[in-house]
Structure 1
Amino acid sequence: MPQTWSNMVELYTRGRNVPRLRETRADATRAVSMLEASQPPGEFATPASDDLILSQSAGGPFRYVCDLGAGRFSGHTRTRDFVAIAPGTATWCRVSHPARLRFVGIPAHLARSCLDRPTDDPLDFGPIHMCHHSDPLIAQGLELLWLEMGRDDPAARLFVDSMMAALVVRMARLASQATLTDRFRGGLAPHRSAQVIDYMQAHLDQPVRLAELAALCDLSPWHFARAFRDTHGQPPHRYLTRLRLERAREWLTTSSCSISEIAAATGYTPQQLARHFRQAFGMAPGAFRRQHQDHPGPRADDAPTP
């Protein structure tokens, strides 16, 4: 019989063939835990845990194929995207690039109490377990929870309690919305969506025309744009801009490339990159690099952009 670990931290500290543990944080009073782990390219599997687990990408984008207990699916995840794993579910995943992952384990009894569900409810959120997701509330909540987790003061404990409830309720709402949306919308098929996003990722340094993306799906530009927006919640050009800025942000924090080189690699002039980057992140690329990069010594053109 497959082994089931009593909680997420025990799984990642004692289990085999799981992502490599980097750091753990816990709220002992509520038995809530978070951890950060790294995984090189390749396959890994995790045994079942009694916790409801949310896994968030905390590093650069990567391509994946995985099964979270509801069937195999694939995609291209970006920083702050998440997946959800129901209690008692073993998982399998293959990643194409090094991945940095952050996990929160919510005890099943706590999750059930937030939703007023019986003790034998499986906490199965249906379509939420069939793909990765991008949700501003959950993304921000997990980042703030990571900062507060482990602080031993009343304010931190109150925050952890309220955020656990908010995350669980938000999961239930997203599951309901996904079920209703799937009945009525006509978006892109999952393999077509993945194909389009892969094409965007491979051509971030080049102009990408709507007709090129539509041709990948054998659709007219008008029908493609509508289907893409139905699937991703925003038009293709805005999605592409987001990918370019996320790539720029990643390189600003992890590489020694100059801002001019990063701009060229993401399809912008330095002035265009500065304008879009300010709009998205509230500061110029050079200022962002000085605040976040681990490598000392900025390049010559990393001076503040006027």
Structure 2
Amino acid sequence: MGTRQHPNLHALGDLVNLQPTVNYAEQLNQVSLASWGPRTIPDYQVLFVIEGKIELRLGSHRYVLQAGDSCLYGPHSPHQLATLTANTSFYSVHFQWHGDSVDPLHPAHGIREISLEHALQEPTTYTLDLWDSNVIHFPPVFRLPSLGPLFVPIVDEYREQQPGYSLLLRAHLIVLLTTLARSQIVQQTQMERKKIAPALEAISASPQQSWTVQELAHLCGYNPTYFADLFRELTGQAPKVYLLQARTLKAKQLLLSGAKHADIAEALGYGSVHYFSRHFKESTGLTPSQFRMTTER
């Protein structure tokens, strides 16, 4: 996945080195119409609509958020929020991507009211580096209803502030942000991976089959050489390596389900239990019994 040029692009750094700090977290329930801004904030804000509708003006753009929608922006993005319905409920979390401390620093001191003219500047796009050298873009508005429950422990910890709460806030926020990053990975790769979707589906459905590059290329309608290069570009692996990893993953699932080694070897197309065990150890560094932490029955 390559990065696209954007006039206001801000790099957030590396996901694996993420040390976020929650500065404020609350569930807001508005029974009457309300608005905030135009303004800038000193940190980042992620908002999730539980009920009702919220209008977000971000630069020259206008968005209407409904239940299940979220928005994300930072100190580089002038914005204005307004509820559009009388009964509106939403989660709001202010945070820093890389905090010097785990202790919350309330954002109120750094919120600045601005002119409408200033608010019309283009919004900032945020990028995050991943563990596989790829980069993802965070859109200002996205729909991810499953994100809602992840706000609950953050809000609860911030409200109660029991001993050790700041560390738990960081842990819960890492889960939320990583889940959001994962959703963007899926979305950004879906379109690109459609090019090799038939091959990926075939490997997933039948990892026990000894698929050749020619067979997989034929499923996608490509020349084998072109297919192999494209497959490596989109997955980071050669087709054979990807197939072996898919087979190992299936073996792990079967081992954890309690299946016998002989049954797994047969199901995944290995010629013998010995060959299966040898391949599994080459792939994972553990024998099947060590992985399951049991002896074969």
Asked if Structure 1 and Structure 2 have the same fold, meaning a TM-score greater than 0.5 normalized by the shorter chain, the answer is no
- Shorter-normalised TM range: 0.3 to 0.5
When the two structures are superposed, what TM-score results if normalisation uses the length of structure 2? 0.43
Higher relative contact order (CA 8 A, sep 6+): 2
Q: Name the structure with the higher strand share.
A: 2
Work out which of the two has the higher radius of gyration on C-alpha atoms and give 1 or 2.
2
When the two structures are superposed, what TM-score results if normalisation uses the length of structure 1? 0.42
